Structure 1
Amino acid sequence: MTEHTDVVELLKAQHTRIRTLLDEVTATKGDERRQRFQELVRLLAVHETAEEEVVHPFARRNIDGGELVVKDRVEEEEHAKRALSDLDGTDPESPEFLDLFAALRQDVLAHADAEERHEFAYLQQIADRGKLANLARAVRAAEAIAPTRPHPGTDTALKNVAVTPVATVIDRTRDAVRKAMR
């Protein structure tokens, strides 16, 4: 993926990759489907964790009505996490997998579209290039140490990271994000 210096460009590029992976999971079979699905799960986990740690807090503080904008995005993320959880342990070759995957796909696409229309559009209106660049650095720092799977019921990065075995990741995430935001 190309290095993006603007947080909106970075996250939209990830959305493009997520959309491509959604198509590839549907179009492939066997080991290739498993690999694409694992890649999708990992990307969704790091993407959402970084948004929860960096983008949503900034939006809450700086967007007029930001609390409501973020609340709606978090609810959408929760739907996708539940759909992904329903897929956990399902054989990618089973007919049930594709049915459950269709629900995940719908949730993820709706969330990405809403995020781009609402939260990202507002970010571009209120933040200058320097702030957008700082947020991109913070997102990359958070992604570098994010969990590898999203966890339903973890509507904040702290909760998401806390369910992983290594509790020190929480402190490292915060330190990396704060350093990147300077």
Structure 2
Amino acid sequence: MSKPHWSKCPASSLHKQASRLRKQIPVSSAFISPEQNHYYLHLKPPTPMPLITPADLSTHIYTEIINEITRNDDSIASIAINAAIQEAKLYLSRYNLVQLFGTETTEPVINDTLLKSLVKDIAVWHLLKLSNTNIDQATHRLAYEDAIKTLKNIMSGAAVPDGWPFAEPATNEPDGDTISWTSNAKRKNYY
């Protein structure tokens, strides 16, 4: 957990703009010190940006349809996105998943449009399973199957995306206490 960061600013310059600043800066608490005439803001640590957000799905499906399927509840779209990310991770275990997808506390290091597009295809399919409102499901089912096929090709090594970092190999060095011996195959001579 990060330490709280308090920012000290003159009250004369910020007091009138406090409500505007609260909307622009992530502030968890604020107070004015009357004896020092300063305005203190307790700044929240920045939250990391996920690989894709519900707003990013608009490149694959219209926003109106997303709102109709989810009934304007972004948490449903977030659940579909998280399921899609977990499904994509199943196929990409050879790669450094922290750099590709990030964690709850860090952002992804690699910003790859192919990976985002594949995750969006999978997430859209998870959303469409809820409803078929004004959508040709066969088209999106084909896009989902193509995304899974691409992930399987990447998993098998048939396709290697440029710039994706591989996972660190586990080193299993021998202890030096093993012995190995071999012999020739037994000959069968019959007279």
More helix by share: 1
Does 1 or 2 have the higher relative contact order (CA < 8 Å, sep 6+)?
1
More strand by share: 2
TM (norm. structure 2) is 0.26
Which of the pair has more CA radius of gyration? Answer: 2
